Structure 1
Amino acid sequence: MGGFFSSQPAYAAEDGVSAVIAIHSAGEWTQNWESHSQTNKLMVIDFSASWCGPCRFVEPAFKAMATQYSDAVFVKINVDEIPEVSKQWKVQAMPTFVLVKGGQEVGRIVGAKKDELERRIQEQINT
């Protein structure tokens, strides 16, 4: 398990750029979704808001997981920027993490439950 206690920040990718894809528009989401939904690669969507304390608390762990589990795609959506996508996924609380494979939801974690999120990601990657 990498990095929570190491001297290097685990959430920084090798080139210093986050491994999390930040989506800022419905068009960006649609393009990303269309290219991903046909694959069996795990997508982890973080629905959050800048004003949400628990969202800010779990963000470093989410970034660390994005770096650690490079065989999954990690996406961050600000519910205030693109509320139509949040509504489409029936997000009612933040943070909400939705795990998707093959275009289908395979898991959902509501709240800043980083241990549960990591366990569910590991389960999906190993299946």
Structure 2
Amino acid sequence: MQTLPKTDKQGLLDLIGDKKTILFFSADWCPDCRFIKPVMPQIETENAEYTFLAVDRDENLDLCVELDVFGIPSFMAFENGVETGRFVNKDRKTKVEVEKFINSLVVA
């Protein structure tokens, strides 16, 4: 999974363009992020139609504020530069919950 460099919302939108993208917001110090991180490669492989980007919450705090992402781990999906879904809260996420979120996404 590629890591998103420090950016703002416009920089993010420019980077992802029209690709189907899922952002994975986390931080190294977050125990719930460390819980889901080991299964992320499998989730990424099973959803190859998406580009996955890891977003370090501490590195991109301003971006998180712009996107209203205040809990981690969290996920946001974009297609054609438009948000198509979010799974954003401070609760621990399981592989099944993340898969359910991805399967629920609507095409923009």
**TM-score band, normalised by the shorter chain?**
0.7 to 0.9
**2:2 maps to amino acid:** I
Query: What's 1:36 paired with?
Result: 16
Would you identify which runs of 4 or more consecutive aligned residues in structure 1 move more than 4 Å?
Answer: none
Segments of 5+ residues of structure 2 without an aligned counterpart are none
The alpha carbon displacement at 1:26 in A equals: 1.5
Larger radius of gyration: 1
| TM-score, normalised relative to structure 1 | 0.69
Segments of 5+ residues of structure 1 without an aligned counterpart are 1-19
**1:55 maps to amino acid:** C
* Identical aligned residues as a percent: 24
Could you give the per-residue CA deviations for residues 66-105 of structure 1, whole angstroms, max 9, x where no partner exists? Answer: 1222111101111111211111111111111111122222
> What is the aligned residue count?
104
Root-mean-square deviation (CA, aligned residues, Å) is 2.4
Could you give the per-residue CA deviations for residues 101-120 of structure 1, whole angstroms, max 9, x where no partner exists? Answer: 22222211133243122122
Q: 1:80 and 1:51 mapped to 2: Cα distance?
A: 10
